[in-house]
Amino acid sequence: MVGTPEKALLRAELLAARSLLSGEDARAAAAVLTASAMALPELTRARTVAAYVSVGREPGTRALLDALRERGVRVLLPVLLPDNDLDWAVYEGPGGLAKAGRGLLEPAGPRLGPAAVLQAQAVLLPGLAVDARGMRLGRGGGSYDRVLARIARAGADPALVVLLYAHEVLERVPEEPHDHPVHAVVTPDVTLRFRVSGGGYGD
């Protein structure tokens, strides 16, 4: 894990709160999140979306992945590399997912390389919180820090979107120089957008 002690403490608090959610609550939230996310202009305009398979009590993405695919969107899912960087492969449906380390599910298809994320017009980022400025708190593994740095170096401009529970939108989260703000956060209660310099979808 990377980050400051302040981040570590906040992560622990947020993960503890997620662990208290019932399966029914998580499923109900996932259904609302899917409907709200599918209505986002950031996703309706996208031909390729980089996303992830939710696990445990993460805000659910599985129905969203299928809905995007049914719409004809090319969905890229991450494959964790030994150095914690992310490779990518196309999502071919639930039957194309395989169990991987750390309790993750990964696409079993051909690997496209870490740079494949640059093809996406929207990137769904996992997170534990987003604040009023659009700063995101991740789990601390550093994988998505590398992804966001790669996007910035390439001058790409995808919409960066995070799915969260309502209580995970905070006034402020700790940040470090390498942290990147996102363009939007979707919760079961509300969708918020942030003004992000260099982001084509920030409004």
Token pair for 196: 């992000």
Domains and CATH numbers, the chain: 5-193 (3.40.50.10420)
pLDDT band at 197 (very low <50, low <70, confident <90, very high): low
pLDDT greater than 90 at residue 141: no
pLDDT band at 120 (very low <50, low <70, confident <90, very high): very high
Write phi, then psi, for 27 (nearest 5 degrees).
-65, -40
pLDDT greater than 70 at residue 122: yes
Residues in the chain: 203
pLDDT tens, 31-79? Answer: 999 999 999 999 999 999 999 999 999 999 999 999 999 999 999 999 9
Whole-model pTM? 0.92
Largest CA distance in the chain: 43
138 three-state secondary structure: coil
| Amino acid 203: pLDDT | 28
Q: Which residues are annotated as a binding site for substrate?
A: 53, 58
Q: Which residues are annotated as a binding site for ATP?
A: 7-11, 136-144
Token pair for 193: 């957008």
Q: Any alpha helices (H) in the chain, and if so which ranges?
A: 5-19, 23-38, 41-44, 62-70, 143-154
**Arithmetic mean of pLDDT over the chain:** 92
Distance between CA 44 and CA 165 in Å, rounded?
Answer: 22
pLDDT band at 13 (very low <50, low <70, confident <90, very high): very high
| Amino acid 199: pLDDT | 43
Q: Which residues are annotated as a binding site?
A: 7-11, 53, 58, 136-144
| Amino acid 198: pLDDT | 47
Q: 158: which DSSP letter?
A: P
| Amino acid 3: pLDDT | 66
| Amino acid 179: pLDDT | 86
pLDDT greater than 50 at residue 101: yes
Percent over 90 (pLDDT), the chain:
85
Closest CA to 159 of 188, 132, 186: 186
pLDDT greater than 50 at residue 1: no
Measured CA distances, 146 to 69, 77, 142 (Å): 26, 15, 7
